[in-house]
Amino acid sequence: MDASLPAHMRPERSFQGFILALQRFWAEQGCVILQPYDMEMGAGTFHPATTLRALGPKPWNAAYVQPSRRPKDGRYGENPNRLQHYYQFQVIMKPSPPNLQELYLKSLAAIGIDSAVHDIRFVEDDWESPTLGAWGLGWECWCDGMEVSQFTYFQQVAGFECAPVAGELTYGLERLAMYVQGVDRVYDLNFNGREGDAKVTYGDVFLQAEQEYSRHNFEHADTAMLFEQFKMAEAACRKYLDAGWREGGNRKQHLMALPAYDQCIKASHVFNLLDARGVISVTERQSYILRVRELAKACGEAWIHTEAGGAA
């Protein structure tokens, strides 16, 4: 931890200081620090900087905060841990550096988790995303019995082998910050590190949003519109993918992978909302997941035919 920081910026005092400390640490490891992607998504992995950039031969090191929306996890602001909107901090390094575990442990030190007093463990947890057609091997990282991060070596994304393999780290920011700040309720997190009248808590920022969105997600989200949006996003994704192949038909170079992928992200989030509204049956659920995966695969294929995806 940086001792020169003013008190209100220290990771154990302030949620924003905590995020800044992580960003700074990974910036120093050579990562580009991106800003959140401007679309609704269920996890930081959906960000094209991870999903798409994990494919192809080109090196890529990035870190960013991604607001993650899990409509089903909303609890009207009444549960001390569960949120339908929360922050993930995502690091992706391709190829995975040989010392990625050490870097991860140093990043914990940077946010105030000292391995001399904390019991940090790498516990088997294989990661799979059915909607992204992706899987990898790795661990959930435990700190004193609490899962604080996900550590994955991507093996396949969008149905394509990762060559080389990227290492992905995902930190659950609220949970980690709660631990470091020693609070039991997420809404009690000190957001800005100030005290007294100047103090802003996580609850000040997000409690009302949790209540409103829980109402929306579970009770009022317009399902007719959402069903329609799913179809539209799916169709648009296909349309952009078809239109993106250069010089019609020979499928050597693609010019519109990113806009097409946006529609895949959109379809995925709309599906999550419909799922939260309870209007998708068990059997239909599987087929929706499959439809999103088909989009993700097609986008992955387009991506590896773009310049950043490594096409010659």
Partner 1 sequence: MPDLLLELFSEEIPARMQGKAADDLRRMVTDKLVAEGLVYEGAKAFATPRRLALTVHGIPARQPDLKTERRGPKVGAPDAAVQGFLKATGLKSLDEAKIQRDPKGDFYIGLIEKPGRDAIDVLAEILPVIVRTFPWPKSMRWGARSGKPGSLNWVRPLHAITATFGLETEEPDVVKFEVDGIESGQTTYGHRFLAPAAISVRRFEDYEAKLLDAKVVLDPERRKDAILTDAKQLAFAQGFELVEDQNLLDEVAGLVEWPVVLMGSFEPEFLATPAEVIRATIRNNQKCFVVSDAKTGKLANKFILVANIEATDGGKTIIAGNERVIRARLSDAKFFYETDLKTKLEDRLPKFEQIVFHEKLGTQAARIKRIERLAAEIAPLVGADVARATRAAHLAKADLLTEVVGEFPEVQGLMGKYYALAQGEDPSVAAACEEHYKPQGPADRVPTDPVSVAVALADKIDTLVGFWAIDEKPTGSKDPYALRRAALGVIRLIAENALRLSLMKVAASALAGLWVKPADAQKLPSDLLTFFADRLKVQLREQGARHDLVDAVFALGGQDDLLMIVRRVEALGKFLDTDDGKNLLAGTKRASNILSIEEKKDKRSFDGTPDAALYSLHEEKALAKAIGEVKTEASVAVAKEDFAAAMSAMAKLRPPVDAFFDKVRVNDDDTKVRENRLKLLNEIRSATRAVADFSKIQD
- Give the interface with partner 1 as residue ranges (CB under 8 A): 57, 80-81, 95-98, 101, 115-124, 126, 136-139, 143-146, 153, 155, 162-165, 167, 179, 184, 281-282
Task: Return the number of the residue (95 or 259) whose C-beta is nearest partner 1.
Answer: 95
CA–CA distance, 49 with 96 (Å, rounded to integer): 15
| Residue 303 CB, nearest approach to partner 1 (Å) | 17
Backbone angles phi, psi at 232, to 5 degrees: -65, -45
| Conformational region of residue 56, where left means phi above 0, alpha means psi within -120 to 50, and beta covers everything else | left
CB nearer partner 1, residue 188 or residue 212: 188
Residues 280, 226: Cα–Cα separation, whole Å: 12
| Least distance in angstroms from the C-beta of 204 to partner 1 | 23
Placement of tokens 């993106």 in the chain: 244
Give dist(CA 312, CA 302) in Å, integer.
Answer: 13
Q: Which is nearer to partner 1, 81 or 223 (CB)?
A: 81
Residues 6 or more apart whose Cβ sits within 8 Å of residue 69? 40, 41, 42, 84, 85, 269, 272
- Of 167 and 244, nearer to partner 1 (C-beta) is 167
Query: In 10 A of CB 250, how many CB atoms?
Result: 8
* Residue 125 neighbours by CB distance under 10 Å: 15
Query: Any residues with CB less than 8 A from the CB of 38 and at least 6 apart, and which?
Result: none
Residue 145 vs 248, nearer CB to partner 1: 145
- Tell the smallest beta-carbon distance from residue 139 to partner 1 (Å): 6
Nearest-approach distance from CB 117 to partner 1, in angstroms: 4
Q: Which of 148, 141, 65, 132 is nearest to 295 (CA)?
A: 132
Q: In the bound complex, what is the minimum distance in angstroms from residue 50's beta carbon to partner 1?
A: 17
Q: Which of 120, 308 has the CB closer to partner 1?
A: 120
Q: Are strands 32-34 and 60-69 parallel, antiparallel or unpaired?
A: parallel
Residue placing its CB nearer to partner 1 in the complex, 81 or 211: 81
Output the smallest distance, CB 37 to partner 1, in A: 26
Q: How far is the CB of 5 from partner 1 (least distance, A)?
A: 22
CB of 304 to partner 1, least distance (A): 13
Cα–Cα distance measured from residue 11 to residue 21, given in angstroms and rounded to the nearest whole number = 7
Judged by beta carbon, residue 168 or residue 301, the one nearer partner 1 is 168
Contact between 260 and 240 under an 8 Å Cβ cutoff? The reply is: yes
Q: Whole-angstrom Cα distance, residue 253 to residue 171?
A: 35
